[in-house]
A and B are shown apart, each in its own frame.
Chain A
Amino acid sequence: MFVAQVMAERELEVWDCLAAVSDPELDEPITDMNFVESVAVSDDLRVRVEFRLPTYWCSPNFAFLMAFGIRSEVLALPWVRGIEVHLMDHCLGDEVNKGVNSGRPFHEIFAENCDGAVLKEVVDKFLAKAFDRRQEVILLGLEAQGRAVDEIVGMRLGTLKRVRFTGEDELRQLPRYLDILATCDLASADEDLAFPTWQGQAIAADDLKDHLGRLRSTRINMEFSGALCRELAQSRYKEVEIGPEGPTLVDFMAGRVPPREITETGR
């Protein structure tokens, strides 16, 4: 009994760490997107993670980024002795699975499978989009509080950290925005500018409106992709065959049972 409990806790730990892996195109955790199908921890502390994307055709570079993201997050857990990542039902599934489990450097495998794409460039491009999206939420939140343009563009990081937000979006995005500022060396000290551009420049007060226009374009694109991914992921396995006895426990655990009523996801 005790052993089973420890194993269950380890599985939960893996689930928790997987929340740090994002769909690069959407900037949403793969666990929120329901991409992770299963997590298993063996007696000798090897982890197997199975994941699945909204369609068979999802872009391979996203698939590779997520597969390697899963691998590195799980391996960062101190007790893990090995990791196997398995992408299911994808047109390049074999290549992704072979690549991520080979132990070879990610950038090599990425270039081989993605027409010579340079991993760092691709990662940077997605980071820039994530940055835009997170920053827009906070900027609009401050505007909605009636703050002046000069105050917003001149705000320091220490001040931003003390702002009280009440909106759901702002509360969710603020820690994510602070995190990307720090990891991308854009702002970390309290006296640093809270709203640099992705290139690290200050935003001129006159330019805030245009700047927000650009962030809005990024968001519209990401929301379009997000809308497709969410609906397609939900629809993909709706047509399932359940045996004459009805679904078994395994079917439920594997997520093979469609929701009884599809809830409206409009917002």
Chain B
Amino acid sequence: MFKTPDGKEIFVIDGHVHFWDGSPENQANIHGKQFIDCFYAYHTGFSPKEELWPKEKFEKYSEDDLYTDLFIDGPDDMAIIQSTYLKDFYKNGFNTIERNAEVAKRYPERFIVNGSFDPRDGEKALEYIHWMKETYDIQGVKMYTAEWNGASKGWRLDDPDAYRCFELCEKLGIRNIHVHKGPTIKPLSKDAFDVSDVDYAATDFENLNWIIEHCGLPRLDDFTWIATQESNVYGGIAVALPLIYNRPRHFAEIMTELLFWIGEDKILFGSDYGIWTPRWLVERLWALQLPEDVVAGRGVELTDQAKEKILGLNAARLYGIDVESKKKQLSGAPVQIAAE
């Protein structure tokens, strides 16, 4: 729960968190080391100094760290844990659904665990989707179209194999498809940040919600154009939001474009924990006023009501969460960490 300076309580769903193991013991090769090092550079480059973690904690933080940073020190009421396998880089994977489900177990009322699959696995991907639904009753998945798989250096949402997987998702009621479209890990060479595949997939699967993480940056204009055409496309602001710290004007410009094109009902907050912790992000987002000369000509406003939607109400709608009854449930079950 986030309490505004004038005492209002804001329900927060953190739409994008991770529980990874990037430690040297788990790294399978140089790519694994470079991957977590790159994440750490994002962390050190865009966090306020007082929020910096030592490298060792960043490589592998504990379950207690996660609960504390999100729910005790942090303002989150609930968090959506995204799964990222990266089995080519990490011996036991980076943050698999098993690992995520395990950490969510202690406070199941606070977590939504999303799965992941790779359509290039063909039949196996379909079996895996069935297995995730049966085992964890997932409601969403996280897709990485730029991930390596054997000789393939990436895939598109509108590939035939992908369509078979999305048909199955629709059938099983896995309705929220989060797609990483942003700064990429080993991007496709021809057009690293192409978002055009979202257009096809969103049109052909109207019953699925397409949450485009990092709002397609640095292809914001393409993303907003597509999102404007499709009623089932949303934008997640993880990775864009931390710019609010040392480039607040630039973040205000991004927010202005999002409000103008896709509107306050379709923007979702995410911290991308453990790259960043949610407290300072939420505080700064709440305090943000869009400069007049930035919104000039766009005629948009970032009202308290809009912020409340972005911070939690929009995600609640997508995941079918009744906010009032959830608040009651959570106030009766506080997060507690045993003192060491």
Q: Is B218 an interface residue (CB 8 A)?
A: yes
With A209-B297, A213-B297, A266-B246 already in contact, the answer to whether A225 and B38 are too (CB < 8 A) is: no
Q: Is the CB of B190 within 8 A of A61?
A: yes
Given A57, A228, A238, A265, which contacts B186 in the complex, CB threshold below 8 Å? A57
Q: Is the CB of B220 within 8 A of A224?
A: yes
Q: Is the CB of A224 within 8 A of B217?
A: yes
Q: Is B111 an interface residue (CB 8 A)?
A: no
Q: Is the CB of A61 within 8 A of B189?
A: yes
Q: Is the CB of B45 within 8 A of A56?
A: no
Q: Is the CB of B183 within 8 A of A220?
A: no
Q: Which residues of B contact A228 (CB under 8 A)?
A: 42, 45, 183
A57 to B184, CA, bound (A): 8
Q: Is the CB of A55 within 8 A of B41?
A: yes
Q: Which residues of B contact A114 (CB under 8 A)?
A: 189-190
A122 to B35, CA, bound (A): 27
Given B41, B184, B250, which contacts A220 in the complex, CB threshold below 8 Å? B250
Q: Is B185 an interface residue (CB 8 A)?
A: yes
Q: Is the CB of A221 within 8 A of B44?
A: no
Q: Is B124 an interface residue (CB 8 A)?
A: no
A49 to B254, CA, bound (A): 37
Q: Is the CB of A235 within 8 A of B41?
A: yes
Q: Which residues of B contact A223 (CB under 8 A)?
A: 247, 250, 253
Given B41, B221, B243, B250, which contacts A232 in the complex, CB threshold below 8 Å? B41
* Least distance between B30 CB and chain A CB atoms (Å): 8
* Least distance between B189 CB and chain A CB atoms (Å): 4
A211-231 CB contact bits vs B (8 Å, 1 = yes)? 001101110111111011001
CB-based nearest B residue for A55: B38
Q: Which parts of A47-72 form the interface with B (CB within 8 Å)?
A: 54-57, 59-61
Q: Is A189 an interface residue (CB 8 A)?
A: no
Q: Is B55 an interface residue (CB 8 A)?
A: yes
Q: Is A115 an interface residue (CB 8 A)?
A: yes
CB-based nearest A residue for B298: A213
CB-based nearest B residue for A62: B192
Given A59, A122, A220, A267, which contacts B253 in the complex, CB threshold below 8 Å? A220
CB-based nearest A residue for B245: A266
Extra contacts besides A91-B34, A235-B45, A239-B40 (4): CB < 8 Å: A57-B185, A61-B192, A91-B186, A216-B253
Residues of B within 8 A of A (CB): 31, 34-35, 37-38, 40-42, 44-46, 55, 153, 183-190, 192, 217-221, 240, 243, 246-250, 253-254, 257, 297
Q: Return the 9 tightest CB-CB contacts between A and B, nearest first.
A: A231-B45, A217-B221, A114-B189, A235-B41, A56-B34, A221-B218, A235-B45, A235-B44, A266-B246
Subset of 23 A-B contacts with CB under 8 Å: A57-B38, A57-B187, A59-B189, A59-B192, A115-B153, A115-B188, A216-B253, A220-B220, A220-B253, A223-B247, A223-B250, A224-B240, A227-B247, A227-B250, A228-B45, A232-B41, A235-B40, A235-B42, A235-B44, A236-B41, A264-B246, A265-B246, A267-B249
